[in-house]
Amino acid sequence: MIYAKLRRCKILLTIVLLLTFNIGSGQDKKAEDMLLACLKTHLQSNGIDLADFVHQYEELLVKEKILEEASSKGYRKLLVEISKQNGFEFAKEPSEYFINKLMLSFDQKDRTSYKNCMQLISEKREYLEKSKPMKIEMAFLQSKKQSPSSYAKIMLQHTVSLDFEHVYYKLALYKLYYMIDLDSGIQQEEEEKEADFYENSLELVVKDGKLWVAKKPLAMHELRSKVYLYVEKNNEKSNILLTLDPLTKYSFFVEIQEEIVKAISSLRNTYSLKHFSKEFSQLSIVQKEKIEKKYPLRIRENVIAKD
């Protein structure tokens, strides 16, 4: 078995940003545009323009002196700075996380058209696997150390400054901060014993196009409840193991990731309302960290080797 060890289980954003594209464009269209088309269309259906969304977030980063300037040069410089950080430690983090805001839009309206768009991913899989974005993601998944700094180093190896004029690469950089947010800063040292993760973990298995838990089939609409109850019971000891058939469709993989995140987000929000009388998004950083520590989002991915 080949193990793609996701120490910080930060693949949600990778999935959301990388695997959303429209199949009607043909291979003459840039992979980066293809990878964003479904996302852009869905946001537009919710009255959100992706370019404006990104511009507003750029202004925030500049205002908070995280991004020196809203230019390709500024993004490249920030990427270099992140690559020099120690693992998951950032000198300064933004007051808001881009993807937290982005994911809210996926709850506002029916996502049928978005899902239909994504289900056609497999038809372009061979083309995308040769693209720069996918090479970056595969290099990261295959690396021994998964952290924002290691991802930044991989991006630096595969990109040039001009790449950051494209929205896709800006979003990829935003992901690095979200990787910290999902894990609430909890550090797992490299020498951590593998058994510590697997003990009492919830194992989700994707095989032959179906989702299984404890050797029993699980319908997608049951997954959110399953994760919710598991994390609610295990609290900070919660660990989710996702074992994948290498032929798993990206669209199915995306859907699983979304349901996991929505389950934990719902749990965090429920706790927030009960103990602070506020939505989770309205809490202070200290309050958020308390809840994120209690209900962590930790996922490790195993890919079953091909015969």
pLDDT at 106: 54
Q: What is the chain's mean pLDDT, rounded?
A: 76
Domain ranges of the chain: 11-183, 194-303
pLDDT at 48: 79
Residue 99 sits at the vertex; the CA angle it makes with 137 and 112, to the nearest 5 degrees, is 85
pLDDT tens by residue, 145-155: 667 888 889 99
Structure tokens at 192: 């951590």
- Over residues 135-146, the mean pLDDT reads 75
Q: Tokens 């937290």 correspond to what residue? A: 100
Give the residue ranges of DSSP H helices in the chain: 12-18, 31-45, 50-63, 72-83, 98-104, 112-118, 125-128, 132-142, 148-158, 167-183, 194-198, 220-234, 250-276, 285-294
- Range name among 73-77, 193-197, 288-292, 302-306 with the lowest pLDDT average: 193-197
pLDDT at 195: 56
Task: Output 171 or 44, whichever has higher pLDDT.
Answer: 171
pLDDT tens by residue, 22-60: 333 334 457 788 778 777 777 777 677 888 888 988 998
pLDDT at 9: 39
Task: Output 245 or 34, whichever has higher pLDDT.
Answer: 245
pLDDT at 112: 62
Task: Output 125 or 218, whichever has higher pLDDT.
Answer: 218
Give the amino acid at 153.
K
- Range name among 28-42, 88-102, 211-225 with the lowest pLDDT average: 88-102
Longest Cα–Cα distance in the chain: 53
Task: Output 198 or 278, whichever has higher pLDDT.
Answer: 278
Q: Is the predicted pLDDT of residue 289 greater than 90, yes or no?
A: no
- Range name among 32-46, 160-174, 188-202, 230-244 with the lowest pLDDT average: 188-202
pLDDT at 40: 79
Global confidence as pTM: 0.55
Of the pLDDT bands very low, low, confident and very high (cuts 50, 70, 90), residue 69 is very high
pLDDT at 42: 72
Structure tokens at 268: 């965090």
- Over residues 57-73, the mean pLDDT reads 91
Cα separation of 200 and 307, whole Å?
29
